[in-house]
Amino acid sequence: QAALGCRAAQVLMQYCILANHYWFLVEAVYLYKLLIGAVFSEKNYYRLYLYLGWGTPVVFVVPWMAAKYLKENADVTARLGLLSSACPCLCLPSQINLLIFMRILKVILAKLRANQKGYADYKLRLAKATLTLIPLFGIHEVVFIFATDEQTTGILRYVKVFFTLFLNSFQGFLVAVLYCFANKEVKSEMKKKWQLWKLDH
């Protein structure tokens, strides 16, 4: 029973890691759609985002789970092959996000340069936009995705683990602060709700 619970927890963990990466991709595609043009039609984009975010990891986790079950007691080379096959499904959304990230930065830079007279500090605005897009798109994942646990040793491994855990743990909080609580519309709505609550009490 303990072994079954451990295996279920491992499958769930792999699914959650993949879902995290593919939701980064959903956020990137959604922002790309808003800034540059329609990627999907308005009629069915929400369902496609759900399939991409929650469904795509299942496509990778189910074969991984079957292979893991069949090769669990096989030789080391089979297990190493299984580990290396997991890398492309993690690398793919990160690479697409990096491409979308660069494309969006190019658009932002073009818009800021066009309004250079209105925005004297356009370089500062570009830096701010870049820094706010990094946690939203999970660009930090690209830095560590190729530095696997087997390749990193000593202090480098501790640095990698610390930054990966820190950024992954606080990524949702950073996105909430930058895109929700720092948003003028959200702040005005919260202020209205607060004033209504004060009037009621």
- Tell me which amino acid residue 127 is: A
> 79 pLDDT exceeds 50?
no
Q: How confident is the model at residue 54 (pLDDT cuts 50, 70, 90)?
A: very high
Q: Which residues contact 25 (CB under 8 A, 6 or more apart)?
A: 52, 53, 93, 96, 97
- Give alpha helix (H) positions in 115-145: 122-137, 140-145
In the chain, the percentage of residues whose pLDDT exceeds 70 is 77
- Which top CATH class is 1-150? mainly alpha
User: How many CB atoms are closer than 10 A to CB 66?
Assistant: 10
pLDDT digits (tens, 9 = 90+) for 130-140: 777 777 777 77
